[in-house]
């Protein structure tokens, strides 16, 4: 009888504990539902309509999706988004890792350098885009001033179809590498010093320590940065809209930029919603592929 009473009391306490737990996570679920889940459902609905912000939407089925892959501007935007992702992601990771390795030491000046490299990341993308817009200015921009001082002619950096995307990529790498540096620094702090000490006793040099200790132990960190970097690159918009406006000749337009143009400039909200759903599917598919083929990005057992 006593055992039965104890079991009943334990079950009642567990129920009360479960109710408190659900109440604590309820705000997060409400925020997710209101600001993410419900808007996604609404966009999916609008993507099969001819909604234009003014009149009542009529369902048109898959017409918007069929038109997407006959839209030359959208196809160019897909290609540009892929180019931007590949051109920014891997240099950003490599530069962030290099900075982390250089700044992973004890010194009075190290915190200053860490702050200096991370500072662009906390600044608004709009502000940084305006700064780089001045740097690329064809008349009095910093880069052209340097070129003229060296005896070269000024360049139309953002007006040249062959250089515009490179200029945007360069600015994006500069702004984001500080974030990668901080994440890699946190990964480096989790590597036991005993591994390096044992490697030193075995006569390993710095290169072998990096290849056989540092890099394998940083796989989870690299995997995290890879996934988040892909998602962020697919949503690139601010620097494109401010610095180039998608030009010249659509050389820098991206998927999100096309969504903005079709939805808020041409008022084709149904068509823009179809673009948004397509972008969501692209992001999900690529993220799943990264998770599938990036199984090495799991925690490393050091025992």
**Is 166 within the bounds of a domain?**
yes
Q: Decide if 92 contacts 176 (C-beta within 8 A).
A: yes
Distance, in Å, from the CA atom of 269 to the CA atom of 258, rounded to the nearest integer, reads: 12
CB atoms within 10 A of CB 39: 12
Percentage of the chain exceeding pLDDT 90: 64
In this prediction, residue 302 carries a pLDDT of: 45
Residues 6+ positions from 172 with CB-CB distance below 8 Å: 84, 88, 92, 236, 239
**Is 15 within the bounds of a domain?**
no
Crossing angle of helices 110-122 and 164-189, rounded to 10°: 130
**Does position 277 have pLDDT exceeding 80, yes or no?**
yes
In this prediction, residue 5 carries a pLDDT of: 63
Percentage of the chain exceeding pLDDT 70: 91
What is the CATH classification number for the domain harbouring 293?
Answer: 1.10.3720.10
C-alpha to C-alpha distances, 6 to 10, 20, 256, 291, nearest whole angstrom: 6, 21, 59, 45
Residues 6+ positions from 256 with CB-CB distance below 8 Å: 234, 235, 236, 237, 240, 279
**Is 267 within the bounds of a domain?**
yes
What's the structural domain count of the chain? 1
The sign of the dihedral angle between the CA atoms of 132, 137, 138, 143 is: negative
**Is 140 within the bounds of a domain?**
yes
Three-state DSSP class for residue 59? strand
Range of the domain at 178: 70-297
**Is 158 within the bounds of a domain?**
yes
Look up the pTM and report it: 0.87
**Is 259 within the bounds of a domain?**
yes
Mean pLDDT, rounded, for 78-94? 95
Helix ranges (H only) for 123-192 are 125-135, 142-149, 164-189
**Is 34 within the bounds of a domain?**
no
**Is 40 within the bounds of a domain?**
no
Distance, in Å, from the CA atom of 82 to the CA atom of 73, rounded to the nearest integer, reads: 14
């Amino acid at each position: 009888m006593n055992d039965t009473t104890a079991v009943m009391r334990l079950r009642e306490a567990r129920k009360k504990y479960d109710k408190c737990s659900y109440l604590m996570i309820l705000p997060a679920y409400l925020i997710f539902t209101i600001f993410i889940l419900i808007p996604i459902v609404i966009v999916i609905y609008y993507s099969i309509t001819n909604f234009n912000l003014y009149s009542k939407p009529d369902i048109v089925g898959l017409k918007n999706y069929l038109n997407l892959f006959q839209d030359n501007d959208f196809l160019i935007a897909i290609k540009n988004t892929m180019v931007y992702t590949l051109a920014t992601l891997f240099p950003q990771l490599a530069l962030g890792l290099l900075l982390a390795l250089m700044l992973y030491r004890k010194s009075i000046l190290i915190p200053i350098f860490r702050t200096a490299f991370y500072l662009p990341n906390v600044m608004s993308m709009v502000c940084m885009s305006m700064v780089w817009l001045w740097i690329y200015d064809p008349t009095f921009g910093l880069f052209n001033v340097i070129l003229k001082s060296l005896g070269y002619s000024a360049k139309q950096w953002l007006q040249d179809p062959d250089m515009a995307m490179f200029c945007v990529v360069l600015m994006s790498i500069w702004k984001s590498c500080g974030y990668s540096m901080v994440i890699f620094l946190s990964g480096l702090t989790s590597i036991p010093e005993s591994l390096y000490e044992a490697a030193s006793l075995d006569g390993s040099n710095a290169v072998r320590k990096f290849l056989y200790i540092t890099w394998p132990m940083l796989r989870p960190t690299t995997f995290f940065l890879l996934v988040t970097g892909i998602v962020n690159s697919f949503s690139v918009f601010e620097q494109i809209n401010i610095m180039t406006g998608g030009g010249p000749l659509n050389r820098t337009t991206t998927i999100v930029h096309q969504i903005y143009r079709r939805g808020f400039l041409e008022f084709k909200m149904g068509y823009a919603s179809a673009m948004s759903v397509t972008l969501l599917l692209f992001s999900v598919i690529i993220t799943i592929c990264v998770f599938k083929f990036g199984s090495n990005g799991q925690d490393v057992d050091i025992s």
